[in-house]
């Protein structure tokens, strides 16, 4: 006696036979009416597998798109370095602005740098961090910068934050702001460059920190191009200032010191001695400039400069750029300002604390700690002034 039962839910036939005549289960499905559809079921299984595979690919693609870095809607760029060092922020801002044309960009930096950024309309919003001096770090100024950054963080939600010069106050502001993505300088890469001999010890490369951070975003920036762009109105004002003197056509020597108040800075008397020697031997006219809205250097050096010299106390950043564009030679202890002037085509002599001098075209580096530093500086200045005059004659 055979007993058969068809499972309509699974469409599989199970046959129960007597123990003496046991029949193995059929390897193919049966229809309710007893028909066989083995081939059709295989095709349906293949289609089901294809659908599952397609669904898996879709889920994986959605995950990739979800976690891929999208175009940031709001970017905050912070640079709390001194004025000379932060001049490299200008070409970096141009590159970021060109890359993210539709993004909202806010820049937080010193007063002078914010002035230059605003003149080129490189940012939608500016956060003035006040005067930042590398030689003095007061807790009052740091607290003010911290409060301004916190207010900016509360005002808008930023998708991307670039902190080019991390300090304690900026690190705390980043932590409290809970920004989703923050990029800071990679110091191990700088160390590897120094160990490989590509970057001399004690000398920062031209925009090396800025190049590293922009490279993390896939942005290329040429820091050998002119960093500063003088404004026509500021250049005209400075030319009128030069016309007041009797030697308006004389070569212009610009003096700048960012370390005037620092204990190990180049003495003010040596700046005066250099100015007198170059003025008497080559007829240069001296212009002493200070950091934006500061007078720590000009108030001390103006008393020992030759007659007819100009002292720009508490200048605007645009005035400094106009002086550098007009100057025949710059003498400074600020490496950032020297690189910026050289990028504009203005010869620059940098007073460094390193042991040996290094020459790089119109940017000369002289050890200011040596005993004959003034003699070597005047010799390099004479060579650069002769080259500048020769180039001027051939350009006429």
Tell me whether the CATH fold assigned to 74-216 matches the one assigned to 232-395. Answer: yes
Using DSSP's 3-state secondary structure scheme, residue 363 falls into strand
Global pTM value: 0.74
What are the domain boundaries of the chain?
3-67, 74-216, 232-395
Give the homologous superfamily in CATH for domain 232-395. Answer: Glycogen Phosphorylase B; (3.40.50.2000)
Domain at 74-216, CATH class: alpha beta
Residue 138, pLDDT > 70, answer no
Q: Are 77 and 108 in contact (CB under 8 A)?
A: yes
CA nearest neighbour of 96 among 170, 190, 160, 158? 160
Residue 193, pLDDT > 60, answer no
Alpha carbons 264 and 134: distance in angstroms, whole number: 13
State the distance between the two ends of the chain, measured CA to CA, in whole angstroms. 121
The proportion of the chain whose per-residue pLDDT surpasses 70, expressed as a percent, equals 68
Q: What is the pLDDT of residues 253-290, one digit of tens each?
A: 999 998 776 766 788 999 999 999 999 999 999 999 99
Residue 214, pLDDT > 60, answer yes
Alpha carbons 342 and 363: distance in angstroms, whole number: 6
Question: What's the CA angle centered on 51, arms 45 and 54, to 5 degrees?
Answer: 140
Q: What is the pLDDT of residues 72-107, one digit of tens each?
A: 899 999 998 889 999 999 999 999 999 999 999 999
Mean pLDDT of 191-206: 46
Alpha carbons 175 and 83: distance in angstroms, whole number: 26
Q: What is the pLDDT of residues 315-370, one digit of tens each?
A: 999 999 999 999 999 999 999 999 999 999 999 999 987 654 556 689 999 988 77
């Amino acid at each position: 006696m055979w007993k058969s039962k068809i499972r309509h839910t699974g469409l599989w036939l199970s046959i129960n036979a007597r123990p003496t005549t046991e029949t193995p289960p059929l390897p193919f499905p049966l229809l309710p009416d007893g028909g066989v559809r083995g081939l059709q079921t295989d095709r349906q299984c293949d289609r089901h597998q294809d659908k599952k595979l397609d669904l898996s690919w879709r889920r994986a693609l959605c995950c990739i798109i979800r976690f891929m870095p999208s175009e940031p809607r709001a970017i905050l760029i912070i640079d709390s370095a001194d004025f000379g060092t932060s001049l490299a922020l200008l070409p970096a801002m141009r590159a970021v602005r060109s890359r993210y044309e539709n993004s909202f960009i806010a820049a937080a930096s010193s007063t002078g740098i914010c002035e230059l950024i605003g003149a080129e309309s490189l940012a939608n919003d500016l956060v003035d961090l006040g005067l930042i001096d590398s030689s003095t770090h007061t807790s009052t100024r740091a607290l003010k910068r911290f409060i301004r950054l916190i207010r900016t963080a509360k005002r808008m939600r930023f998708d991307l934050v670039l902190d080019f010069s991390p300090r304690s106050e900026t690190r705390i502001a980043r932590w409290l702001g809970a920004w989703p993505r923050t990029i800071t300088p990679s110091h191990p890469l700088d160390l590897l460059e120094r160990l490989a001999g590509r970057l001399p010890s004690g000398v920062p490369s031209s925009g090396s920190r800025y190049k590293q951070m922009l490279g993390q975003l896939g942005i290329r920036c040429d820091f050998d191009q002119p960093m500063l762009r003088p404004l026509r109105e500021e250049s005209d004002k400075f030319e009128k200032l030069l016309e007041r003197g009797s030697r308006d056509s004389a070569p212009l020597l610009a003096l700048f010191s960012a370390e005037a108040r620092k204990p190990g800075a180049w003495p003010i008397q040596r700046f005066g001695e250099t100015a007198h020697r170059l003025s008497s031997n080559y007829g240069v006219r001296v212009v002493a400039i200070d950091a934006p809205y500061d007078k720590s250097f000009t108030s001390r050096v103006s008393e020992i400069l030759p007659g007819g010299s100009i002292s720009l106390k508490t200048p605007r950043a645009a005035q400094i750029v106009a002086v550098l564009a007009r100057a025949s030679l710059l003498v400074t202890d600020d490496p950032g300002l020297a690189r910026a002037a050289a990028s504009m085509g203005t010869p620059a002599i940098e007073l460094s604390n390193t042991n040996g001098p290094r020459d790089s075209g119109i940017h000369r580096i002289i050890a200011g700690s040596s005993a004959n530093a003034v003699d070597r500086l005047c010799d390099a200045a004479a060579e650069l002034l002769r080259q500048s005059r020769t180039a001027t004659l051939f350009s006429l």
